[in-house]
Structure 1
Amino acid sequence: MNQISPLAFVHPEAKLGDNNIIGPFCYIDRNTVIGDNNVFQNSVTINYGARLGSNNEIFPGASISTKPQDLKFRGEETICEVGDNNSIRENVTISRGTASKGTTKVGSNNLLMECVHIAHDCIIGSGEIIGNSTKFAGEVIVEDNAIISANILCHQFCRIGGYVMIQGGSRFSMDIPPYIIVGKEPARYMGINLIGLRRRGFSNELIELIHNTYRILYGTGTRAENIAKIKNELQVTPEIQHIIDFAETSQRGIIK
């Protein structure tokens, strides 16, 4: 049975699962689907097109599936998908999609700290920690298990690899490949995310292989020459293949 405050508004067409707690001054619009065991603290807004999983906790002032801040948006039918077990802190905003992709996606087991903004058509993976006031412009992709610190500004269409650590206050407009640390001003490659990889159970041998891969990738040759050298000189495990694929398919170029 859901616990809905008499001071909350839930549209009659909203679809709610079971055991949700909806606090005072929450607003849940029509064309919304909400799973089970979610906690909406006071003053949470669940807008048109939201699709929420289960066991999420959403804090005051958060607004999910907001109208995109994109002048090309013409009211087309789009959605915003949020998975399970997320902690979405105060004043987080997540826009729904546009005609470009139709859907904004946020995975599961994420911590989105206060005032994070996720724009239209972004794809945010699972296991992320995203710090206070970090902003993602439209159509950004973040792979799983990234740690993205506070006050970061990410240009539209960028891709961020998994298992990265990005220093607070960074600004960037290029892709960030997986397993690395990015920092300083301007933001640049600072080495591999050694502590993060160890915490995630990467073996010392694999960490050394990743380190050697980036030593070559950021070497003196062209990107194509360095990738060919990686393929010829190193063992190409799935992790190394992912780095190769990421670099070869990057549309914006990888961060220097």
Structure 2
Amino acid sequence: MSNIHPTAIVDPAAHVDSTVTVGPYAVIGPHVRIAARTSIGPHCVIEGHTSIGEDNRIFQFASLGGVPQDKKYAGEPTRLEIGHRNTIREFCTFNLGTVQDRGVTSIGDDNWIMAYVHIAHDCVVGNQTILANNATLAGHVQLGDWVIVGGLTGVHQFSRIGAHAMAGFASHISQDVPPFMMVDGNPLAVRGLNVEGLRRRGFSAERITAIKQAYRVLYRQGLTLEASIAAMSALIEEHPHAAADISQLRDFVAASQRGIAR
């Protein structure tokens, strides 16, 4: 195909749509599937059981679908799944999953992933996230939709970051970050709500006010975690227009295994 550079090595068993562009010296393995209009930059290596959706832009020197950096990995046919319309910049490394977890590392749609980002085995990245340069996700990390992770930030294995949360530059995240929060530092601290982010995403003033009340219940009233969860349940009845938002925050906190960032 004319849109695959002659120096690229594409295994004949790979499923590459005819509209995909592959740059010079890229290497694509036999178990790779790449959907329409995705572009693969020069010197990229895409291997393993990796599927890539439509309209992605993958820049030079990215390494996708490499074996997990996990000593327990024994060659099992685990997977990497990447959705649609993602931008993946230079030198990113995304690994396959492991059989000790769900067996798949997954990245959703419309994510903006900057240079040198590492996404380890079994991570789940939602949609519309931003991962700045050198952000590092250890194994089994989960990011909700619209999460922003600042540059040089490290996220400890099994940690979760809830939807619409934002982590500042060079943060050390070793506990769960609830939805809507802004955090930064080492040790990590919650600095407030990501109000500007919510406004940009079309949250009404009434919804933001209700989320602020839930935030105060969780962080400003000196309640135990159990009491905070009960109080947020009461808020759901008081603010039906924001019931889904408060429920999301309450349920995230209630399900935390690592404890939440304070």
Q: How does 1:37-186 map to 2 (within 5 A)?
A: 37-99=37-99, 100-186=101-187
Equivalences for 1:211-250 in 2 at 5 Å? 211-218=212-219, 219-233=221-235, 234-235=238-239, 237-250=243-256
Tell me, yes or no, if the aligned pair for 2:79 and 2:97 is still in contact at 8 Å.
yes
What TM-score, normalized to structure 1? Answer: 0.97
Q: Which runs of 4+ in 1 moved over 6 A?
A: none
- Unmatched 5+ stretches in structure 2: none
Give the Cα separation in 2 of the matches to 1:172 and 1:145. 17
Unaligned runs of 5+ in 1: none
The answer to which of 152-161 and 178-187 deviates more is 178-187
Q: What do residues 75-133 of structure 1 show as CA deviations (whole Å, max 9, x unaligned)? A: 11111000011110000000011102110000110111000000000000110110000
Amino acid at match of 1:255: A
Measure, in 1, the Cα distance between the counterparts of 2:187 and 2:127.
Answer: 27
Q: Secondary structure at the match of 1:74?
A: coil
Residue pair 1:65, 1:80 contacting (<8 A) in 2 also = yes
Asked if structure 1 preserves the Cα contact closer than 8 Å seen for 2:45 and 2:61, the reply is: yes
Contact map agreement 2:172 2:185 (CA 8 A) in 1 = no
Q: Residue by residue, what CA displacement relative to the aligned partner does 1:153-173 show, whole Å, maximum 9, x if unpaired?
A: 000001100111110100011
Aligned partners of 1:116 and 1:70: how far apart in 2? 18
Q: Secondary structure at the match of 2:183?
A: strand
- The answer to whether the 8 Å contact 1:2/1:19 transfers is no
Aligned partners of 2:172 and 2:184 also within 8 Å: no
CA distance in 1, matches of 2:212, 2:55: 37
Is 2:161–2:179's contact at 8 Å kept on the other side of the alignment?
yes
Q: CA deviation at 1:2?
A: 5.8
Measured after TM superposition, the shift of residue 187 of structure 1 is 1.2
Residue 148 of structure 1 deviates from its aligned partner by 1.0
Deviation of 1:230 after TM superposition, in Å, equals: 2.2
Report which stretch shifted further, 223-232 or 13-22: 223-232
TM-score by length of 2: 0.95
| Cα contact 1:2–1:18 (8 A) shared by 2 | no
Query: What is the rounded CA distance, in whole Å, between the counterparts of 2:227 and 2:260 in structure 1?
Result: 15
Counterparts of 2:185 and 2:69 in 1: how far apart (Å)?
29
Question: What do the CA deviations read for 1:200-243 (whole angstroms, capped 9, x no partner)?
Answer: 00011110110110101113121001111222244360110011
CA distance in structure 1 between the partners assigned to 2:249 and 2:228 by the alignment:
12
Q: CA deviation at 1:186?
A: 1.4
Q: For 2:139, what is the secondary structure of its paired residue?
A: coil
Deviations 1:133-187 (A, max 9, x none): 0000001010111111100000000110011111010001100011111013311
1:40-72 CA deviation, whole Å, 9 max, x = no partner?
Answer: 110011112110001111111101111100001
CA distance in 1, matches of 2:185, 2:170: 9
Paired position in structure 2 for 1:26? 26
Count of matched residue pairs: 256
Q: Alignment identity in percent?
A: 38
The one of 230, 242, 258 equivalent to 1:252 is 258
Task: Please report how far the alpha carbon of residue 18 of structure 1 lies from its aligned counterpart in structure 2 after TM superposition.
Answer: 2.3
For 1:196 and 1:136, how far apart are their aligned partners in 2?
22
| Structure 1 partner of 2:200 | 199
Query: What is the aligned-residue RMSD (CA, Å)?
Result: 1.1
Which has the larger displacement, 185-194 or 237-246? 185-194
User: In structure 2, do the counterparts of structure 1 residues 14 and 200 end up closer, same or farther at CA, with 3 Å as the change threshold?
Assistant: same
